[in-house]
């Protein structure tokens, strides 16, 4: 029948087009249709002078007010002013977290960003600009510039903003800067904050948090010394000589930042990611010569990310990705930018150790949690870092299991792999040890930039990864996968807030998970359930067994808590009870023919946030003596070795 | 001019040993005195065992009646190790994965070269251990120098005679090593090294620079160690009372026999490297249980004994070299005391 044939033909054509589209590289920098509002687009021209470490730039920002309110000012991030002197908020916070040595720098190793001019709609507003510091009233902080407007920008209206500036490239701070002839340039241009219904979201630069900005189109022309390989956000569309320099023009749609790097030392390698159901991705690797043999490890880890994150959460849409292997001492490793990230490896990188794979998967993973889902890293850093730490551990476990502990000696150069210690996903991958140490330092709902600087990372990265993995072990991976993929699909190229994720979680799981989020997100309480007592004594023909389970921590598990008691005759009793707010302990009593052997609370380790696993069980046949003997003899050999080192001087 | 200096001015005795014969002679002398090795081993165990017992108590207390002990006893329970580390204080902070197998050797070598601080309790134990060596040194070198059995009375007599002299020598040693580790090392590794690598963007280059500084520091320490060794040897062999004089004489000896002394030191150091390399090949992990735990511990003790043997060979071969150059094999100026005339007996 003609109609059916037409439908079949249309379906076939659609399939062919789809297949062809997914089979062809889409590395043009364009995304059609637009994925984001594209309300903050930048056309930038900049020139790097490596000798003076100076960047001279000009930009034209096409900005559209997508809120319902008019704005009477513009607010810009001038991130590099955080490294102008030790009095900035960034430097003060860094000193608070114990990185005081950062201030011992030569004068030319600091940074600054000086604005030449600002015009809005052709009107010069240079003279009206001023620095604001709403986070902490630090008058010495110059990382946020406010420009009052001659006339308000109304909802839906578009403004054209032109800015010129010069900046001095520092010796690396916060993964940005130069060492030798290696340059990694990020957060380098005057950048608008995000206008929300509540006003501008444009925080000062803090030492413990990262960035937040609107999506747009970036068209950036960079002039660097001729012959220096360059990597940047987007796709290189044009290249032309300019005397001793070469101008490279990069273009990318639907991204919210732009970073770049150049160095004459880079080796350039390329590879391709292909997958039956995901779009292909061209991979470009800028590699340090001393890591040449590790090229495939970088590609393999990136493929792992694109595959698993793509399958679990959603496809990577850009068609290209640039992997940067930063130079030794550059401090630029382990950072994400749209379509580009820095990995980080070592000269000696043994197999079955996740260097460089761990950092590569993590930073590539940020293309999803940060790049595509654009949460606010100032206020809710856990939404990208924590989600990504969880996802990284899960992806690593798929491909790089087992991987082993490595310690480095002799100034940190010489690795030694401890093949006795296979690193598990649940505890090592999610970084339980760090969380345990800092568990009470801050409630996760505190704005991230207000976390205590030295412990904020544990709350941001580790705690989130642990509670997501707990959620996985509690509700099952299929449920969590649907939660995360739904959240990804619903909030890609947008700016979700915590309640947006919680709403998706409740909706998809079909369960009110609020009590769980109350504990893990809204409080700094810790989980610590333990077996306080286990007795099993003969009374007549029977054994009288008493098990006391105690809640040592303030946090309360919102579901049934599992307790397992094993008896010597092989019988096992499972207790499932819900603990109320006032419950601090529960006792279980049994009279039976066999003596109890052991009792365990949460025997399957569902509650990964429990800060003390050792007290989760008790046995009446303890082997602590044997274990202590074994480990104290190991330690004794170490001590004897230590004594011999000293005796060498006797 | 002291008698020793008079000897030093004499022409080299015909047939004086080179570094290789001295090393071989040194090995032979140590092998002929197994009691010395046993004594040194006993000292090492005596100092380390109480702390190991204390550590055992800490570990057992933390594990309590937990089932976590099962996996810790049968393999490596890394999660428990981290939990323990999180609450550990004092001695407990040294319980880390680096204690496993060859990691222990790397950790200590690295700590030595990187001047890493250790907890007070470990420093205290090490100080007692060094004190023990200072006490035994006189007896050990006397026995090795005589190259014949001195029996307990002779051995402890020499220990008693030289202990207070070596304490005075140790004061000088302490000043020199405090200067090396407290001033020279920071100057090299905290001051110079960061400046050298300031603009280095290649890790391999930075490592080579660090190795070069390790060599500089190592040569300084080795030179001082060698001089102090010969100071002890000269003090015992020539019955010197002035330790400053012994140091001066040792410097003179090393200066005049630089090639032989340095080569001998290098040969002895090679033995040290071989001992470590062998242990690196056979060092057990921590995965075993039951008899395997005992076997792993026994292997560790064999390694410790090997390291002690190397230390004795250092002294022995240096004594042999000195005797071959300025005296003769078996020569010791001080007559061998006979019980009950020994200072040790007097003390009793």
> Residues A402-433: pLDDT tens digits?
999 999 999 999 999 999 999 999 999 999 99
Mean pLDDT, rounded, for A59-69: 98
- Interchain CB contact of B97 with A (< 8 Å): yes
pLDDT of residue A101: 52
Residue B6 belongs to some domain of the structure: no
pLDDT number for residue B326: 86
Residue A8: partners with Cβ closer than 8 Å, 6 or more residues away: none
Q: What are phi and psi of B31, to 5 degrees?
A: -65, -25
ipTM over 0.95: no
The answer on A120 and A77 residing in a single domain is yes
Tell me the pLDDT band of A26, cut-offs 50, 70 and 90: low
- Residues B311, A648: C-beta atoms closer than 8 Å: yes
Residue B168 domain-assigned? yes
Q: Which residue has the higher pLDDT, B24 or A20?
A: B24
Report the alpha-carbon distance of residue A216 to residue A35 in Å, rounded.
10
Angle of CA points A242, A243, A247, to nearest 5°: 25
Closest CA to A131 of A205, A70, A187: A205
Residue A557 lies in a domain: yes
- Both A453 and A564 in one domain: the answer is no
A401 reaches B (C-beta below 8 A):
no
Q: Is residue B300 part of a domain?
A: yes
For the stretch A290-302, pLDDT in tens is: 999 999 999 999 9
Q: Of A209, A230, A250, which closes a domain? A: A209
Residues 185-244 of chain B whose Cβ lies under 8 A from any Cβ of chain A: 189, 197, 199-204, 206-207, 210, 214, 221, 225
Q: What gap in Å lies between CA A274 and CA A302, rounded to an integer?
A: 12
Pair (A81, A117) in one structural domain = yes
DSSP β-ladder status, A320-324 and A340-342:
parallel
Say how many CA atoms lie within 13 Å of B274 toward its Cβ: 10
Chain A, 227 to 266: residues with Cβ < 8 Å from chain B are: 263, 265
Residues A454 and A587 both lie in one domain: no
A407 and B103 in contact by Cβ < 8 A?
Answer: yes
Domain extent at residue B328: 24-347
The whole-number pLDDT of residue A499 equals: 98
Q: Does A23 score more than 80 pLDDT? A: no
The tens digit of pLDDT for each residue in A114-131 reads: 999 999 999 999 999 999
What is the pLDDT, as a whole number, of residue B13? Answer: 46
- Count of CB atoms situated within 10 Å of the CB of A88: 23
Task: Kindly report, residue by residue over A143-194, the tens digit of the pLDDT.
Answer: 999 999 999 999 999 999 999 999 999 999 999 999 999 999 999 999 999 9
- Looking at every residue in chain B, the average pLDDT score rounds to 92
Residue whose tokens read 């240096």: B318
| Closest A-chain CA to B211 | A410
| Chain A, chain B: beta-carbon pairs less than 8 Å apart | 275
pLDDT band at A11 (very low <50, low <70, confident <90, very high): very low
What integer pLDDT is reported at residue A537 of this predicted model?
A: 98
Are residues A464 and A536 both part of a single domain? no
Q: Is A626 on the interface with B (CB under 8 A)?
A: yes
Task: Give the minimum alpha-carbon distance from A555 to chain B in angstroms, rounded to a whole number.
Answer: 19
Q: Report if residue A118 sits inside a domain.
A: yes
Instruction: For tokens 């990382």, name the residue.
Output: A143
Residue B48 covered by a domain = yes
For residue A177, what are the contacts with CB-CB under 8 A and spacing of at least 6? A111, A169, A170, A171, A183, A184, A330, A331, A332
Task: Indicate whether A48 and A137 sit together in one domain.
Answer: yes
Judge whether residue A18 has pLDDT over 50: no
Q: Kindly report, residue by residue over A527-546, the tens digit of the pLDDT.
A: 999 999 999 999 999 999 99
Q: How far apart are CA A554 and CA A556, in angstroms?
A: 6
Do A129 and A145 touch, CB atoms closer than 8 A? Answer: yes
Question: What is the structure's pLDDT at B340?
Answer: 55
Q: What is the pLDDT of residue B286?
A: 86
Which of chain B's residues have a Cβ under 8 Å away from the Cβ of A634?
99-100, 104, 286, 296-297, 300
Contact indicator for B70, A623 with CB cutoff of 8 Å: yes
The answer to whether residue B1 is domain-embedded is no
A561 lies in which domain range?
529-619
Backbone phi and psi for residue A249, each to the nearest 5 degrees, phi listed first: -110, 120
Chain A residue numbers touching B82 (CB-CB < 8 A): 427, 432-433, 436
Residue B9 lies in a domain: no
Task: Tell me the pLDDT band of A481, cut-offs 50, 70 and 90.
Answer: very high
**pLDDT tops 50 at residue A84:** yes
Q: Total structural domains in chain B?
A: 1
Q: Is A294 within a domain?
A: no
Does B329 fall in a domain?
A: yes
Same domain, A42 and A169: yes
CB A87 within 8 A of CB A142: no
Average pLDDT, rounded, for chain A: 94
A488 and A564 part of one domain: no
Kindly give the parts of chain B with pLDDT less than 70: 1-16, 337-348
Higher pLDDT, A444 or A97: A444
Say how far apart CA B81 and CA A427 lie, in whole Å: 12
CA–CA dist B335, A1 (Å, integer): 123
B150 domain residue, yes or no: yes
Q: Does residue A169 belong to any structural domain of this protein?
A: yes
Separation CA B19–CA A43 (nearest Å) = 75
Domain boundary among A162, A183, A209: A209
Domain boundary among A463, A488, A520: A520
Q: How far is B79 from chain A (nearest CA, A)?
A: 7
Kindly state whether residues A91 and A118 are assigned to the same domain. Answer: yes
User: What pLDDT does residue B44 have?
Assistant: 98
Rounded distance between C-alpha atoms, residue A527 and residue A554, angstroms: 7
What is the Cα A496 distance to its own chain's centre? 16
Here the tokens at position A18 are: 């789809």
B73 contact A CB<8A: yes
Count of residues in chain B? 348
Same domain, A485 and A565: no
Question: Residue A594: is its pLDDT beyond 50?
Answer: yes
Co-location of A108 and A177 in the same domain? yes
| CB < 8 Å from A in window 37-56 of B | 44-45, 47-49, 51-53, 55-56
- Backbone Cα Rg of chain A: 28
User: Does residue A224 form part of some domain?
Assistant: no
- Residue recorded with tokens 């420093």: B123
pLDDT per residue as tens digits for the range A212-228: 999 999 999 999 999 99
Domain CATH for A540: 2.60.40
Burial label for A70, CB within 10 Å (0-12, 13-18, 19+), is middle
Number of structural domains (chain A) is 4
Confirm whether A260 is domain-assigned.
no
Are A579 and A441 in a shared domain? Answer: no
Identify the pLDDT of residue B55.
Answer: 98
Q: What share of chain A is helix, strand, coil (3-state, %, to 5)?
A: 30, 35, 40
In sequence order, what DSSP letters do the residues of A399-427 get, joined into one string? HS-S-EEEEEETTTTEEEEEEEEEPPIII
Q: Are A133 and A206 in contact (CB under 8 A)?
A: no
């Amino acid at each position: 029948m003609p109609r059916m044939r037409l439908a079949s033909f249309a379906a076939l054509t659609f399939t062919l087009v789809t297949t062809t589209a997914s089979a062809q590289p889409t590395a043009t920098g364009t995304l059609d249709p637009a994925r984001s509002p594209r309300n903050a687009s930048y056309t930038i021209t900049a020139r790097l002078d490596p000798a003076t470490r100076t960047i001279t730039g000009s930009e034209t920002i096409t900005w559209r007010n997508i809120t319902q309110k008019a704005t009477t000012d513009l607010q810009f991030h001038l991130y590099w002013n955080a490294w102008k002197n030790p009095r900035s908020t960034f430097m003060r916070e860094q000193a608070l977290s114990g990185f005081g040595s950062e201030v011992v720098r030569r004068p030319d190793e600091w940074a600054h960003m000086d604005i030449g001019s600002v015009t809005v709609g052709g009107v010069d507003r240079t003279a009206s600009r001023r620095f604001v510091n709403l986070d902490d009233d630090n008058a010495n902080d110059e990382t946020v510039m406010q420009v009052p407007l001659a006339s308000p920008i109304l909802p839906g209206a578009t403004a054209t903003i032109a800015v010129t500036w010069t900046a001095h490239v520092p010796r690396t701070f916060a993964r940005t800067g130069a060492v030798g002839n290696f340059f990694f340039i990020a957060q380098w241009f005057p950048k608008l904050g995000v206008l929300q219904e509540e006003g501008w979201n444009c925080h000062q630069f803090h030492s413990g948090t990262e960035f937040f900005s609107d999506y747009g189109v970036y068209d950036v022309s960079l002039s660097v010394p001729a012959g220096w390989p360059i990597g940047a956000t987007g796709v290189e569309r044009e290249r032309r000589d300019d005397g001793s320099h070469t101008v490279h023009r990069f273009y990318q749609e639907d991204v919210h930042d732009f970073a770049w790097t150049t160095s004459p030392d880079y080796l350039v390698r390329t590879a391709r990611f292909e997958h039956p159901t995901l779009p292909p991705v061209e991979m470009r690797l800028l590699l340090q010569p001393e890591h040449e043999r590790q090229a495939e490890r970088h590609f393999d880890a990136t493929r792992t990310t694109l595959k698993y994150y793509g399958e679990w959460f959603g496809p990577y849409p850009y068609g290209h990705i640039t992997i940067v292997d930063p130079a030794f001492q550059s401090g630029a490793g382990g950072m994400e930018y749209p379509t580009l990230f820095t990995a980080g490896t070592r000269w000696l990188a043994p197999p079955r150790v996740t260097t460089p794979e761990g950092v590569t998967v993590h930073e590539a993973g940020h293309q999803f949690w940060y790049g595509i889902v654009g949460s606010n890293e100032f206020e809710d850093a856990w939404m990208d870092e924590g989600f990504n730490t969880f996802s990284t551990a899960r992806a690593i476990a798929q491909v790089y299991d087992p991987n082993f502990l490595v310690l480095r000696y002799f100034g940190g150069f010489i690795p030694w792999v401890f093949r006795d210690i296979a690193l598990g996903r649940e505890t090592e991958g999610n970084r339980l040890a760090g969380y345990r140490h800092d568990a009470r330092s801050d409630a996760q709902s505190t704005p991230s930039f207000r976390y205590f600087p030295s412990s904020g990372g544990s709350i941001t990265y580790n705690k989130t990864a642990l509670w997501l993995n707990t959620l996985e072990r509690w509700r099952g991976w299929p449920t969590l996968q649907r939660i995360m993929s739904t959240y990804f699909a619903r909030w890609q190229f947008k700016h979700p807030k915590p309640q947006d994720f919680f709403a998706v979680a409740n909706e998809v799981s079909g369960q009110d998970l609020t009590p769980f989020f109350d504990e893990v997100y809204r409080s700094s309480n810790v989980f610590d359930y333990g077996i306080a007592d286990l007795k099993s004594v003969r009374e007549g023909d029977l054994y009288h067994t008493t098990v006391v389970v105690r809640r040592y921590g303030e946090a309360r598990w919102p579901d049934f808590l599992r307790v397992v008691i094993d008896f010597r005759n092989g019988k096992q009793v499972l207790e499932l009870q819900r603990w109320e707010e006032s419950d601090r302990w529960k006792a279980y009593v049994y009279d039976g023919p066999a003596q109890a052997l052991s009792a365990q609370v949460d025997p399957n380790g569902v509650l990964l946030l429990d800060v003390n696993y050792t007290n989760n069980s008790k046995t009446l046949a303890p082997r602590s003596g044997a274990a202590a003997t074994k480990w104290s003899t190991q330690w004794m050999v170490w001590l004897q070795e230590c004594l011999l080192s000293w005796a060498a001087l006797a | 001019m002291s008698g020793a200096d008079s000897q030093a001015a004499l022409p080299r005795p015909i047939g004086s040993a080179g570094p290789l014969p001295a090393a071989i002679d040194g090995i032979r002398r140590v092998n002929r005195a197994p009691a010395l090795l046993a004594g040194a081993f006993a000292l090492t165990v005596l100092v380390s065992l109480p702390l190991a017992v204390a550590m055992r108590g800490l570990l057992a207390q933390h594990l309590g009646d937990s089932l976590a002990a099962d996996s810790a006893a049968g393999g490596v329970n890394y999660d428990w190790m981290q939990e323990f580390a999180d609450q550990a204080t004092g001695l407990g902070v040294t319980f880390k994965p680096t204690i496993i197998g060859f990691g222990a050797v790397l950790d200590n070598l690295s700590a030595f070269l990187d001047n890493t601080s250790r907890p007070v309790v470990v420093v205290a134990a090490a100080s007692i251990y060094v004190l023990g060596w200072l006490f035994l040194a006189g007896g050990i070198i006397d026995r090795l120098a005589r190259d014949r059995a001195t029996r307990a009375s002779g051995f402890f007599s020499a220990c008693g005679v030289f202990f207070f002299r070596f304490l005075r020598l140790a004061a000088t040693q302490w000043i020199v090593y405090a200067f090396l580790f407290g001033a020279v090392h920071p100057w090299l590794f905290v001051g110079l090294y960061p400046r050298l690598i300031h603009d280095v963007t290649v890790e391999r280059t930075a490592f080579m620079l660090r190795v070069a500084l390790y060599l500089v520091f190592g040569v300084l320490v080795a030179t001082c160690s060698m001089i102090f060794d010969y100071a002890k040897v000269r003090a015992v062999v020539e019955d010197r009372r002035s330790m400053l004089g012994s140091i001066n004489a040792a410097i003179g000896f090393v200066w005049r026999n630089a090639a032989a002394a340095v080569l001998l030191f290098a040969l002895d150091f090679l033995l040290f490297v071989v001992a470590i390399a062998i242990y690196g090949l056979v060092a057990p992990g921590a995965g075993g249980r039951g008899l395997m735990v005992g076997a792993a511990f026994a292997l560790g003790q064999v390694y410790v004994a090997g390291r002690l043997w190397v230390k004795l060979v250092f002294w022995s071969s240096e004594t042999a070299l000195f005797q071959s150059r300025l005296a003769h094999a078996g020569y010791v100026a001080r007559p061998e005391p006979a019980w009950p005339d020994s200072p040790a007996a007097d003390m009793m």
